Amino acid sequence: MATESSRTQELTSQPAASAASFLQQPQPQLLRRVAVWGLPALLLLLFLLWPYQQWDYDKRESILIGWARWVSKRADWQFCLLVPFLVGWLVWLRRDELRRLPWQGTWLGLPVLVAGLFSYWIGYKATTGYPGFLAVQLVLAGVILLVAGREWMRALFFAWLFLFFTWPMQPLEDSVASPLRPFTASMAASVLSMLGIPALNEGSALQSAADAVRGTRVGDAFSLDVDAKCSGINSLFALMMISALLGYLALRRPRSRLILFLCSVPLAVAGNVVRLLLLVAGTLMFGQEFAVGRHFEDHQEMSFYHTFAGFAVFGVALAGMFALCWLFEGREMKTNLRRHGTPAGSGGSWSTILAPQRTLRHLAAALVLPLATLGICACTDVSFHVAAPGVRLRDETPRVPWLPLSLGDYQGREYDMTPEEKDLLDEGVKLARNVYSSATGRQIMATVILSGFEKRSLHRPEVCLPNQGWTVTDRMQTPLIMEDGRTINMMMMRIFRDVEPKPGLRVRTRAINFYWYIGSDGVTCADHYEHVFLSYYDAVFRNIQHRWAMASIFVPLPDQAVGQEDPVLELSAMEDARAFLSKLAPTFMLTREQWQLSGSNPPASAP
């Protein structure tokens, strides 16, 4: 009996002894298995399985599932779906080098990992994707540095950097791609004029010039628009990705790679200019319907020729990229491409682990910290309700923002949303617009736009106005003192556009545009990016999910000949607009107390 008891005690003590022995002298093979299988499983839990954010105002989805669903619906960003596979291929190309590199983890990866996990929590709490995208990048970098070390990060740096193309940088579309559309139309007009085809551009529109001899008016021969959906400029981001990959594969010098990458922007513009020239040529030879397509009510059906011309963007850009590569390194390109192939005698054993005990500590940190972050996320209050809007809504259905029809000596007239605006704005966006006229002849157009059930569904006027032919000369924040005593900041823009009603006479139409954003809980701001920041900040620290509205006030000035503008007219319009806004704004903007009382109404929710 004593012998059996001692044997049982010996057997039960073996697991504890084994665990203690492993902690004192961990086995490299077991460490490698934990790293190779445990870390990827943990990353899949973080980014593929865990319900992370509400991509609309609906159910939560993980970062990668929501990303894939969002990207797959937008043709301009579908190239992002290929990037993870390209990154895997880039890692596979370095597999033999990675086999030879020892594991020498560094604690420098710890702050990177912590920063990534904090970004993960911020996005989870604010239910927004971009902090999650940043978290993917930082967590990967932190894990590589923490477990494998600097040499591994150096070998994988380009693949890690290339992974940024996975994420749709939609804010850059507004700030980079949109301003290029009017510039592209202007370049195409210049080229056509040099070829003997008189052309004019107005913003993003490209039209044939008037011909007094032939009796044709502006736009009779051709009339095109560098539209946002099919401009080809949005392919800029795909071309940037291609230029980065081509530079990495075909060039050795970092400076040459950087120049090639930067040249992707002018090459995209050049490709789109060629596309416009092809559309003009097709229109002149075969007609508008053949070259562009047919228009059915509010739907544009592109022709086969129109689709074919779109490939010119990639054709011209790719030809330019290969020409630059040849210019930089010439015949060395073939050698550069071969260096990425599998070397002779490849293969071999896995990388060695030089310090198993230190690697165990690093690996434990890489496993425990993400799990702790998920625990914090599970305890975080993420109850989500879109807050009531900060503007008055009409009682009847649909519940659009409310604007008075009469205000002082101004009388208003309602104007509905146009078909073009319905195509441009996201689903669920509500709009109220009145054009007011006074006895003095002053006209003011007031528009209040209420965001829909997709996030970021409000667009900056700086993006829309250039596409309508307007040029923004300057913008500045200015205060508005309302009649009820409230003071808010609003953005004021001075804009103009030139028209040529008859040959030799150019008339400049000037206008002033005021706008500001109205959130929930009495929050207002003048800047677009400030309202984005407030959305995230209040979602994280105040648990308020704003449903934003934007007020836009447009004040046209009398037409004046170019070079003969009267500055007094502009100053008078500014004063009239301020006086009008001080009365109008309190009629549709709720105070914080009024908003809190309106909170008894059912909160906005997805349809």
Q: What is the pLDDT of residues 519-545, one digit of tens each?
A: 988 889 998 888 888 888 888 888 888
pLDDT bucket at 501, cuts 50 / 70 / 90: low
* Res 40: pLDDT: 93
What is the spatial distance between Cα 33 and Cα 415, in angstroms, rounded to a whole number? 67
Q: Which of 83-97, 193-207, 252-266 has the lowest mean pLDDT?
A: 193-207
Q: Which of 53-57, 156-160, 291-295 is the most confident on average?
A: 156-160
Q: Is the pLDDT of residue 283 over 70?
A: yes
Q: What is the pLDDT of residues 210-250, one digit of tens each?
A: 776 676 666 667 777 666 554 555 677 888 999 999 999 88
* Res 355: pLDDT: 79
Beta-carbon contacts of 118 under 8 Å, excluding residues fewer than 6 positions away, are none
User: Which residue ranges make up each domain of the chain?
Assistant: 27-168+352-379, 171-183+225-338, 406-598
Q: Is the pLDDT of residue 435 over 80?
A: yes
Contact 105, 362 (CB under 8 A): yes
What is the spatial distance between Cα 544 and Cα 538, in angstroms, rounded to a whole number? 5
* Res 12: pLDDT: 47
Q: What is the pLDDT of residues 577-599, one digit of tens each?
A: 999 999 999 999 998 888 877 65
Q: Is the pLDDT of residue 446 over 70?
A: yes
Residue 297, Cα to own-chain centre: how many angstroms?
30
Query: Where are the extended beta strands (E) located within 183-298?
Result: 199-202, 205-208, 223-225, 293-296
Give me the chain's average pLDDT, please.
81
Task: Fill in the DSSP letter of residue 108.
Answer: T
Q: Is the pLDDT of residue 46 over 80?
A: yes
What is the spatial distance between Cα 271 and Cα 504, in angstroms, rounded to a whole number? 32
pLDDT bucket at 13, cuts 50 / 70 / 90: very low
pLDDT above 90 coverage of the chain, percent: 32
* Res 344: pLDDT: 47
Q: Name which of 381, 392, 253, 380 is nearest 324 in CA terms.
A: 253
Pairing of strands 205-208, 223-225: antiparallel
* Res 191: pLDDT: 86
Q: Is the pLDDT of residue 92 over 50?
A: yes
Q: What is the pLDDT of residues 402-420, one digit of tens each?
A: 899 999 889 999 988 776 6
pLDDT bucket at 64, cuts 50 / 70 / 90: very high
Q: Which of 115-124, 144-153, 381-390, 439-448 has the lowest mean pLDDT?
A: 381-390
pLDDT above 70 coverage of the chain, percent: 78
* Res 498: pLDDT: 67
- Name the one residue in this structure whose structure tokens are 């080229």: 191
* Res 602: pLDDT: 37
